[in-house]
């Protein structure tokens, strides 16, 4: 009976039934009921394993519910519900089906107890999510979706290869802690790293998320990368070099986000930055660090969705998310501005907001375990987050200058979704124990100590002072209509240029080789024609006496040779 309660199957069943329902309020209402129904097994079932299936002599665990998977599946369910409220007005069957299949696949992967089940749901998230990009129905969205799909499918193929090699090396398919003394575990880590947007593997995120629909971007922000965080926490907690990968992830997106004009791309870079904090926590691997990672993933899904919702509402009403084309929108979109500010305060880790009670756990874990340089990097990255998401997003969207645009306020369902998400961001910040009580390990941590609060307020104050000074002096990068060059320039510009150059060189060499071969062939034919052609000496008509003489000479030579053999 428990097999029928698998939350992912409830999502998939909803995705199958939705196209047959009338496309209107009835369908939108049923869409909202799916995540509620799917959350019930998570809330009612005790921790344990369910749905074990025998396959080719191996036991696959389809449903493993423990404290780590519970945190992630709970926030995935909550994110799906809030996203579907935000998308209430959407009447696009493609987006509705894709949203349910995507959320269900992410939850199925988080509940997987073995690598094969993980792979199936892993690829499910890739296939379902790409339709949220294609749903925009533009040539650019199609090409972006193809690039996104290639990366995501490649991640799954590497995961499957790693699982096969891991099984050959260990005889186990269990999805638990993995040791990096075997190549299979390295391949699995690479697969997780692609989906987590590790440095140099990250550009699919900034390329694809801003290319999706208004509501699709909100849904995309919740699942793929956080599923990778869960997978890393499950398989590679305490892997030290992840600390340095995570620290790098927190740093480099800051500079891109500061100069980026498209506010949804700013948030995509910011998302990459926040993932870095979680990867650092996984690398540290202590109970406090893993709790901080889980808590920050929970908080991040909420406030990042809130920021994407607010910028999406602006895009929905004005047709643009370019900072250079916005400003002054607080006059006609005041509620959206307030909700955006709540998201900005949360991601900036203001006290009494959700980001503060989760990010501080990771910082404390880094300091407690002696990673002082990493602690300083995370502190600097926190200041950068305040610059590009805490200040830049609301400032350039609503206050920077008067763009002259006077759009209507966001639709009621968007406001409701943003309002509920804002309430959660504030509620978790004010009462963190509600989140702490469901974390993977028992929590003995108080974020609201004087040192934590004062340090964070000082950081935010000086960061705001720096932003104001840079703006007043004109040093801060202006919002320009431009395109940032990131590492994807290597694959999208440099590599094609090199391939094109090499192709042209080989084409020239091949042409010259053909020309030389043709010349040699023509010369050979000319020589043969001169020797054996109709005008050659051999082809001329000879006198009979000459032929008799040649014949006599040949017979004489033959006779002489035969006499030599006899002697």
User: Does residue 567 surpass a pLDDT of 60?
Assistant: no
pLDDT (mean) for 14-37: 91
Please tell me the predicted confidence (pLDDT) of residue 527. 81
Q: What is the pLDDT of residues 340-397, one digit of tens each?
A: 999 999 999 999 999 999 999 999 999 999 999 999 999 989 888 887 788 889 988 8
Rounded-to-integer distance, Cα 511 and Cα 514, Å: 5
Mean pLDDT of the chain: 89
- Which residue did the predictor score with more confidence, 347 or 554? 347
Least confident of 189-203, 305-319, 369-383, 498-512: 498-512
Please tell me the predicted confidence (pLDDT) of residue 98. 95
Helix, strand, coil percent content, the chain, rounded in steps of 5? 75, 5, 20
- DSSP code at position 200: T
The answer to whether 32 touches 84, Cβ cutoff 8 Å, is yes
pLDDT (mean) for 185-210: 92
Structure tokens at 320: 């643009």
The answer to whether 264 touches 308, Cβ cutoff 8 Å, is yes
Rounded-to-integer distance, Cα 89 and Cα 91, Å: 6
User: Does residue 508 surpass a pLDDT of 60?
Assistant: yes
Q: What is the pLDDT of residues 273-319, one digit of tens each?
A: 999 999 999 999 999 999 999 999 999 999 999 999 999 999 999 99
Tell me how far the alpha carbon of residue 170 is from its chain's centroid. 30
Q: What is the pLDDT of residues 436-453, one digit of tens each?
A: 999 999 999 999 998 889
The answer to whether 428 touches 294, Cβ cutoff 8 Å, is no
Please tell me the predicted confidence (pLDDT) of residue 183. 93
Can you spell out the DSSP letters for 483-504?
A: ----TTHIIIIIHHHHHHHHHH
pLDDT (mean) for 225-241: 94
Please tell me the predicted confidence (pLDDT) of residue 412. 95
- The pLDDT-based confidence of 1 (bands split at 50, 70, 90) is very low
Collapsed DSSP state (helix, strand, coil) of residue 481: coil
User: Does residue 2 surpass a pLDDT of 50?
Assistant: no
Please give the C-alpha separations between residue 174 and each of 49, 183, 235, 324, 394, in angstroms, as whole numbers: 12, 16, 10, 51, 45
pLDDT (mean) for 110-125: 94
Q: What percent of the chain has pLDDT over 90?
A: 60
Collapsed DSSP state (helix, strand, coil) of residue 57: coil
Structure tokens at 562: 């035969």
The answer to whether 352 touches 431, Cβ cutoff 8 Å, is no
The answer to whether 267 touches 306, Cβ cutoff 8 Å, is no
Please tell me the predicted confidence (pLDDT) of residue 272. 92
- The pLDDT-based confidence of 463 (bands split at 50, 70, 90) is confident
Rounded-to-integer distance, Cα 522 and Cα 531, Å: 14
Work out the burial of residue 441: count CB atoms within 10 Å of its CB; fewer than 13 is exposed, 13-18 middle, 19 or more buried.
middle
Cα–Cα nearest to 292, from 304, 277, 303: 277
Q: Torsions phi, psi of 434, nearest 5?
A: -60, -35
> Across-strand partners of 43?
none
Tell me how far the alpha carbon of residue 537 is from its chain's centroid. 79
Check residue 371 and give left, alpha or beta (phi > 0: left; psi -120 to 50: alpha): beta
Can you spell out the DSSP letters for 323-336?
A: GGG---GGGT-HHH
Cα–Cα nearest to 416, from 88, 127, 161, 5: 88
Cα–Cα nearest to 325, from 489, 532, 481: 481
pLDDT (mean) for 56-82: 91
Q: Torsions phi, psi of 55, nearest 5?
A: -145, 115
Reported pTM: 0.85
């Amino acid at each position: 009976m428990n097999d029928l309660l698998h939350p992912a199957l409830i999502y998939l069943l909803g995705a199958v039934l939705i196209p047959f329902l009338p496309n209107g309020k009835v369908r939108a209402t049923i869409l909202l009921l799916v995540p509620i129904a799917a959350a019930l097994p998570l809330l009612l079932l005790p921790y344990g394993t369910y749905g074990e299936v025998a396959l080719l002599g191996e036991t696959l665990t389809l449903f493993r519910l423990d404290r780590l998977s519970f945190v992630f599946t709970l926030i995935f369910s909550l994110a799906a519900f809030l996203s579907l409220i935000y998308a209430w007005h959407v009447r696009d069957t493609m987006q509705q089906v894709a949203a349910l299949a995507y959320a269900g696949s992410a939850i199925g992967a988080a509940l997987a107890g073995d690598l094969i089940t993980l792979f199936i749901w892993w690829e499910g998230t890739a296939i379902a999510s790409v339709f949220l990009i294609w749903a925009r129905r533009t040539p650019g969205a199609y090409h972006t979706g193809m690039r996104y799909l290639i990366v995501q499918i490649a991640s799954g193929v590497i995961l499957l290869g790693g699982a096969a090699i891991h099984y050959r090396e260990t005889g186990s398919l269990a999805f638990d802690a993995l040791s990096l003394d075997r190549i299979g575990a390295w391949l699995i880590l690479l697969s997780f790293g692609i989906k987590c947007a590790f440095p140099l593997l990250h550009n699919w995120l900034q390329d694809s998320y801003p290319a999706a629909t208004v509501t699709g971007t909100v849904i995309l922000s919740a699942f793929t990368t956080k599923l990778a965080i869960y997978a890393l926490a499950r398989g590679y907690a305490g892997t030290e070099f992840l600390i340095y990968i995570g620290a790098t992830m927190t740093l480099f997106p800051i500079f891109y986000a500061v100069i980026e004009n498209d506010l949804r791309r700013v948030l995509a870079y910011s998302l990459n930055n926040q993932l870095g904090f979680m990867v650092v926590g996984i690398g540290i691997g202590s109970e406090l660090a893993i709790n901080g990672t889980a808590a920050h993933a929970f908080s991040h899904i909420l406030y990042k969705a809130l920021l994407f919702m607010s910028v999406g509402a602006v895009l929905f009403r004005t047709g643009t998310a370019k900072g250079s084309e916005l400003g002054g929108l607080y006059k006609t979109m005041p509620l959206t501005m307030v909700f955006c500010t709540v998201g900005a305060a949360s991601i900036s880790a203001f006290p009494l907001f959700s980001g503060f009670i989760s990010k501080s756990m990771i910082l404390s874990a880094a300091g407690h375990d002696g990673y002082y340089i990493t602690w300083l990097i995370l502190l600097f990255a926190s200041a950068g987050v305040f610059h590009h998401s805490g200040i830049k997003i609301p400032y350039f969207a609503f206050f920077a200058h008067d763009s002259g645009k006077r759009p209507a306020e966001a639709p009621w369902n968007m406001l409701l979704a943003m309002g509920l998400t804002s309430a959660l961001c504030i509620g978790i910040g004010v009462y963190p124990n509600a989140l702490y009580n469901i974390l993977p390990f028992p929590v003995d941590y108080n974020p609201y100590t004087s040192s934590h609060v004062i340090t964070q307020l000082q950081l935010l104050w000086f960061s705001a002072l720096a932003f104001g000074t840079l703006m007043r002096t004109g040093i801060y990068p202006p919002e320009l209509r431009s395109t940032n060059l990131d590492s994807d320039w290597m694959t999208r510009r440099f590599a094609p240029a090199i391939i094109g150059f090499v192709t042209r060189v080989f084409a020239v060499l091949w042409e010259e080789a053909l020309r030389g071969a043709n010349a040699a062939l023509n010369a050979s034919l000319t020589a043969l024609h001169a020797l054996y052609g109709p005008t050659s000496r051999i082809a001329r008509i000879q006198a009979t006496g000459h032929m008799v003489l040649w014949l006599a000479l040949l017979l004489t030579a033959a006779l002489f040779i035969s006499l030599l053999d006899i002697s």
